[in-house]
Structure 1
């Protein structure tokens, strides 16, 4: 099981803009400490090449990123102050997701310690997302002919609006989004399949819907790869989530996705996505479960 992680993933924000960035350091430490993985599981991605960026993002947006000339309005939509090191960080993370996809062809699964930046559109960033790592990876694999069809299983609590818009006219990539119906973004795009849950949805209803939808979808679409966005902001403890799932329910969700893919011989590239519980320990435990379940199913 290969895991994308680099010191570049660490990023320090001013206090007034801070959200749980420490998880990018603490999660790999936890996984190593408990013995779920060893140092040999890690690889450090290189920065994503410009040509791969331009298969997903517009030339104008990329120019603004690489010259750090986004407008005040554009920066406000992203949600934190833009700096060259943040822009460089995103290139490494996006390459990590692409590398994970290629490792997944060999090993069944590969996971990025970061990624899941699904609010990024072709021409702009939003919601703490600069580049759309999953869209970039899917486009690159389609371009090289490594795949003909992909499915995005986006189980972050917020709709993957950027991903939905990017692939809205591309039947080579099927986009599935489970999300809070009343949560961010207010204006949602149209995925190939959107499942919006009411506030306070608990484990039973969430997992029942997943069991209803996922096997049929995988059998019908027959993808060459699955991109899984495993956000843990579905937890009742999450400050931004509004759903009411438990740590155990979130763990069952991950196990079910991995089992369904493994049963069909589908490689899975995982991007970590969101998690904003009050206690950092809760965030780390929930994300760690994704890696534990991947190791349990594919290891």
Structure 2
């Protein structure tokens, strides 16, 4: 276990994507989050720089024809609209790097007990199509890569407000990778997939109901499956001010959720690789403050005094 700060994974290319004016994806949030962590006193030495994976490596998880078309810019316009981004070389570069980042985060978690990725959570990508701002499924890629190395069972614990439909479909027949999704039921995607564990929450769900669902779900899953690794999607689009969320969770509720997940896994001796997941407030400073709750929780669990520097 890391004595003070957990390893943090980040690459500058995460925010290096030119999008049309008024595009709803807050692409600058990755850089802003990184800068805020540095300003809070996190040393540069805590950050690990990931490498982009080779496109060919994605054939472990995704249809080769889909990977080839997307990487070379020949995917049809309708499929690109479903993804939600205009195609560009920047888009492919940051996507492949983010996949490498989540895999690196998982590897660091196995070594240190906990690691955090300042990106990730692209859980709407299926075998042969992308969706909802997700080209390739980083959580699934990391899980399958590690499973092939003999690690397992692996638990994907997805607390993004949108169901992890791509992850559920990809692992429907893989008993060694357990998918769990706690999401807003009346939200994207309209057509849900069947995870190993699904909790569909009502719109405007508040802190107490939400945290009870997270607590009961996590306790049950850890007891049933005793995973060797938890991949935690700490999406903050559950927040009451999120543009796409539809739940009513406070910033304190986000912190309580993240603390609950990280502390219980820590107490059980189960490594956690966390990704920041979704968050769609247009005010980047406000959005960053909510994403910072994951890091506040992690620093507290690891015993670093830096947790006190982060406001709730």
Q: If the length of structure 1 is used for normalisation, what is the TM-score?
A: 0.97
Structure 2 spans left out of the alignment, 5+ residues: 1-5, 304-312
Shift in Å at residue 212 of structure 1? 1.6
Shift in Å at residue 51 of structure 1? 4.3
For the 8 Å contact 2:152–2:229, the answer to whether it is kept is no
Aligned to 1:290: 294
**Matches of residues 1-299 of structure 1 in structure 2 within 5 Å?**
1-10=6-15, 11-35=17-41, 37-145=42-150, 147-299=151-303
Q: Residues of 1 paired with 2:138 and 2:250: CA distance?
A: 27
Q: Residues of 2 paired with 1:295 and 1:168: CA distance?
A: 34
Shift in Å at residue 22 of structure 1? 1.2
SS at match of 2:133: coil
Q: Residues of 2 paired with 1:121 and 1:160: CA distance?
A: 10
Q: If the length of structure 2 is used for normalisation, what is the TM-score?
A: 0.93
Q: Residues of 2 paired with 1:62 and 1:112: CA distance?
A: 23
Shift in Å at residue 53 of structure 1? 1.0
Q: Residues of 2 paired with 1:271 and 1:260: CA distance?
A: 17
For the 8 Å contact 1:200–1:242, the answer to whether it is kept is yes
Shift in Å at residue 284 of structure 1? 0.5
Shift in Å at residue 279 of structure 1? 2.7
Cα separation, partners in 2 of 1:16 and 1:280, compared to 1, 3 Å: closer
Q: CA offsets per residue over residues 213-263 of structure 1, 9 Å max, x none?
A: 211210210111000000001011111100000000010000000011001
Structure 1 spans left out of the alignment, 5+ residues: none
- Count of residues in correspondence between the two structures: 297
Q: Residues of 1 paired with 2:24 and 2:227: CA distance?
A: 38
CA RMSD after TM alignment: 1.1
Q: CA offsets per residue over residues 56-78 of structure 1, 9 Å max, x none?
A: 11111111122111101100100
